[in-house]
Every structure is written in C-alpha cells, then in structure tokens.
Chain A
Amino acid sequence: MELERGKINNLHLTFLIIGFTFGSSVIISPGKGAGQDTWLAILAGLAEGLIFAWIFFTLAVKFPGKNIIQINEVVFGVFTGKVISLLYLWYFFHLGSLVLRNFGDFFTSLIYFQTPLVVIIGLTAILAASAVRNGIEVIARCSLVLVPITIFAFIFDTVFLLPETEITRLLPILELPPKDFLKSSHSAATFPFGETVAFLMITSSLNKNSISSMKKFALGGIIIAAIFFIMAAIRNAAVLGGTAEISLYPSYVAIQLIEVAEILSRLEVAVSFPIFIMGFLKISVLYYSAVVGSAQILGLRSYLPLVLPIGTIMVVLSITQFATAVENIIWATDIYPFYSLPFQLIFPLLALIAAIFKQSKAGAKKAGEAQ
C-alpha cells in the first residue's frame, strides 16, 4: 500500500523547488560575509549546489518511484539503509524546525515584538500541518499560485529601489581573500541550494511520464531561484553598500528605504507576507518529508497519524534549540555548512556509486547467465 497516492508533474516540481529554495533565504540572504561580492559567492555556491543536486537527482532517476528511504534500503542493505534513513529523517525534521525558528525570529524581532515566539511558530506549523495532511499534490499546487506572487513582489520592490542604487558600491569585485570567499560560497551552496535533497522524498510522486526528464526541471528550478538571489544580492549591495554586512535581514532594510513620490514608502510589511508564504512552502515540504519518511520506516499504512505528533515536536524543538538569536547566527555561519554536508553530498554520492556498482555487477551477472 502506497503512503502517498497523489501525483505531481514536472512543472509542479520546478515551482515547488523555486519556492523551497526561496524559503528562508529570502529573509536571510545566502552567501553572507562576502560584502559586495555576495552575488559572486552565490554564483559560485550555485555551481557547487548544482553538483550536489545533480548527484541526488541522478539517484532519483535511477530509482523511479522510490524515495530516499527506499533507495537507501536497496543500496546500503536493510540495516545500514535504515540507519542512514533515520539520519535523513532527523535532518528533514531539524531543518524544518530551523526554518520555523528563522521565521519566528524574523517576525518577533521586526514586526510582532510582544508576541511570544510560540504563537507565530505554532500558527505557521498548524498551517503547514494542514498542507501536509492534504498531501504532496496540494502543496505542489499551492506553489503554482504562491511562487508567482513572491516573484511579482520581488520585481515590484526591486524596480522601486532602482533610484537608490549606485553601481559603484559593487566595486571593487573579488576583494575578499579566497578562503573567506570560499567560506561564503560554500555556505550559499548548503543554504539553500543543497537543501533540495529533501525532494528525494517527493520525486517518488512524479507521474510516469515526468521521471526521465525530472533532472532538467529540478535543476532548472534551482537555477531560476538562484537568479533571483543574485539579483537581490546585487540590489542590496548597490543600495546598502557596506551597511548590508551588519544587517540581519538586508533585503528588509533595503526595502525600508523605498520612497517614491512620498506615497510608495514603508512597503516592507507588505513585502513580508509574500516572504512568509515561501517559508510556508519550505516548512511544508520538510515537514511532509519527515512525516512520510517516518511512516515509511515504521511500516505504517497511512502517514496521517504522525502529522500532529511530529509537528508538535518540531515546534518544541524550534523554540528550545536556540536560547538566543546569537546562537542561531553562530550555528548558521560556522556549523551548518559542515553539518549538512553528509546529507547533501556524502550519502547521496555513496549511494550513487554503490548503485552504479551494483548495476554493473547485475549487468555482468545477466550477461554471464545469457552465455
């Protein structure tokens, strides 16, 4: 019995990946620490992230209709596979709680000062829980509506920021020592591009006609999202100059500076809501992956009983994992880029190598039998 009967197509996949990659990166700009070279760091990070993505989407094409849990079992054997799968479940679950926390922090530190964190995170989680209960088809169709809204909002505020931009603020390029630049670009690769590894829980729901061309659409989604990040990074650097580096949320600060004819000003709250719906998409995808993966590993017939328990723990974890915002910053800049590497690169790479090896062995065996 299948856990997920909904089917999505490649267009859904592209939009969902764009929304997922936007996710919390629209508030916390990727490639932090590179100053006016942030856009280059994102570009380099995209190249690295695409290598990760190529590896794990190749894996998905090799095992059509199977998610990462099933793939792990086939490739690594039942026991090792299950251990690795458990690690992945933790990763999706933890990442979901991190994104929840980022949005909670964003709203409590900028707009809702008095509102307890748990209220914002809890309400977001309830929304996501409803999406997860409805299955991947619903989440995917949401993205078809929500992603264009965000892209429109992005273009809207970028156009109105043009009078504030000064292109000389982007100079000189490549000023950072290579080591610092690589640190920034690697951080952009793991957040957000490499996080699309969560889609290994979703590509199994692609309809039959889509599977073979899936890689093109998935990588395309990542590239489209990256183009917007690069535009945002150029915009923020050209508007804020050196002050972008001390801002926790540079895009938000930049949008605050919009003043067109005294009427179009103070737009940042209006822009926060399209930002929020991207967070909803990312949380839903991660939440869904954690829930469906758990049901799979436990051999349940339906994942619905797990939605609320896992969501509740996720909310609790997201609140308790950091006592202060400073811990969150240290985690995001110093630890996360390495913490996420096994999930984004090492396990998928091992799985792919093992799969190719097994295939050629099986092929040789077949050839041997034929003789």
Chain B
Amino acid sequence: MRPAEILHLLRLELRLDLHQRHAVGGSLLYVVSAVFVAYQAMQGRAEGTAWNALFWIILLFAAFNTLARSFQREDAGQHLYLYTLADPRNVILARVIYGAGTMLALSLLSFAMYVLFLGHAPMDGGNALQYLIAVMAGGTGFAAVLTLVSAIASRAGNGVGLMAVLGFPIVLPLLLSAIKAGHLALIGMPWSVTGKYLLWLGVIDVIAVALAWVLFPYLWRDR
C-alpha cells in the first residue's frame, strides 16, 4: 500500500469524472427526479416509516447507479494500462475511497433534497444527528460493499443488470441495518440503542473493505 499511488489514482478518478461530466450529472439528475417522484407519489405527506423507507430506497438505487461507473467505464485498453502501472490493492482502495467520497456527497445531497421536498415532520420527534450519521454511514457503506461487486460485474462483461443481481442480496444486511438505524433515530431512541446499529454499520464497512482488499488482485489479473 503506497499512499502516494493511492492519491495519484484518486486524482485520476476525479479527472475522469470531471472529463465525463454527463455521468456525474446523470447521478445527480437521478436523485433529483427520484425525490420528485417520491414527492408526487406521497402528495407531500409521508409519515415516519414510509418516509424512512422511501429515502433508503432512493439512496440504494442512486448508489447502484453511481458505483456501477467505478469499473464499468473502463475499457480493455485502460485496464491494461492501469494494470501495468499500479498495484491492484492500491487500485481497489482508491476506488473504494473515491466511491465512499462520492456516495457521502450524494447521500447528503439526496437527504437535503428529500427534506426540502418531503418535509422534516417525521424527524421532529427524533434525533436528527443520529439520522444524519446513519445516512453517512449507510452511504459510504454502499460504496464499501458495491465497489467489488461492480468490479466483478464489469469483469463478467455484463453491465448494470448483473451488478443489480449480484449486489442486491449482498447489500441487504447493510441496507436493513441502515433502515433500522434510521427508524430508531426517527422515533428518538437514545444513543445506547441507535449507537449499536451505527457501530454495526461501521463493522460491515470494515469487513467489506478488508475482503475487497484481499480478493481484488485475483480479479484484476487477466490471464
């Protein structure tokens, strides 16, 4: 693991995203339209459970949309080029970190949009800080789990459809914990209760990143 190389790879990712602005814009537009559809469907009135569930579903699909890009945009030539230059472990770490950063920004943005459109009434009785932490931990957690899945799907040469099939059951423990943590935050549970789930989200993140770090070199190599 070389921090300099990871930094370099992060800069490459950023430059690619700046180069392909339409892709970033696509992710943002997706979130905005999903929130708007939710707003129309709920007629602006959503009570706690539905409010929470809807938000996580929007975030889940936004995560699939965004993280699929992390490997799918790479063609065979680019892959070969990176392969000759960089250590696979640095590549996966850089992509997980970049994905986590993107997801962090995206989830905070979705949350802001969501509150703007659907109101914050369900949060009034609860703990907003807890909810925000759940949103951030959940958002980055999606990146931790789905980056390797995105890599597998892109190596299988079968785009976004396969990623959804492979990713959905794997992301389920994380998603259910996040929904639960959000629910507990909304009903105003003390930190000792919600904290257990927030910590648990962190543990899943660590396990997923560690596994990705160990397994990715086998995936990267193309004999």
A and B associate: no
Q: Give the B-binding residues of A (Cβ under 8 A).
A: none
Q: Give the A-binding residues of B (Cβ under 8 A).
A: none
